[in-house]
Amino acid sequence: MSKKRIDIYLLIFLFLFLFTVDYSFLDSLVVKFLESDEEAFVSRIVDGDTIIGNNESIRLLGINTPERKEKYYSEAKEFLEKEILNKTVQLKFGKERKDLYNRTLAYIFLNGENVNLGVVENGFGNYYFPAGKDVYYDNFQEAWNECLKKNINLCEKSKDICSSCVELKNFDYKNEIVVFGNKCDFSCDLTNWEIKDEGRKKFIFLKFVLNGNKEITIKVGNETGKENVLFWKNENYVWTRTGDTLFLRDEEGKLVLWKSY
């Protein structure tokens, strides 16, 4: 038999094979071979963004939830308990596998759903990407926007009369400067209002009134005594260069405004 005829027979065989093979089976084998994800049995919920799975601490990627004694701390923890406690979940990893505390960093999936997204969409945490934006970043922004539409929990809009007066005039994150203005003719008492980044850094206005049609500048540093300037003390920096979000909340913790970059 000539080589040409053998080649033809081989092509025919390959053609028939491709039509009869179970593609879904082959795909699953390829995915399993290439997939670096792991499974974990969730035995404990530490708080709204940390769990114990396979006897190790796992920090949920893409989110930051309230600390103990902060509003919605318990609700965030209870949400995870309801969703994943005593269940086997899939872990998907990001750019870094461990954090400074040697906790595993992962997105938690259950039945194909990203549980971390649910925390944000239900207003139990904000999105948080200190290592830089990844492939899930847009999904978390969408989840936050859905939360804002629902107007629930951490996304609930402030009803303070001054929430419509105070505006962000300048957000110079490179130089660690934030400027707010009061566009109304009357004064606004901002005592106990707070500025927060995506993480744990927080500035609280202490006994401060922003007069009508005036501005206030907040800078990172330990200086004092400058007119119309307040200082975010005991911090070397606040705003992460790879991307961050400013949240301004009123005395009751309700959202006044937010700005991402």
Among residues 38, 81, 83, 103, the one annotated as catalytic is: 103
Alpha carbon distance 196, 202 (integer Å) = 4
Angle at CA of residue 239, ends 235 and 243, nearest 5°: 155
Q: Phi/psi class of residue 99: alpha, beta or left (left: φ > 0; alpha: ψ in -120 to 50)?
A: beta
Q: Which amino acid is residue 191, in one-letter code?
A: T
Alpha carbon distance 48, 88 (integer Å) = 18
- Residue 103 appears among annotated catalytic residues: yes
- Residue 97 appears among annotated catalytic residues: no
Query: Residue 85: which H helix or E strand, with range?
Result: none
Among residues 38, 59, 194, 251, the one annotated as catalytic is: 59
Among residues 35, 39, 67, 252, the one annotated as catalytic is: 67
| Residue 44 token pair | 């404990």
- Residue 59 appears among annotated catalytic residues: yes
Residues designated catalytic: 59, 67, 103
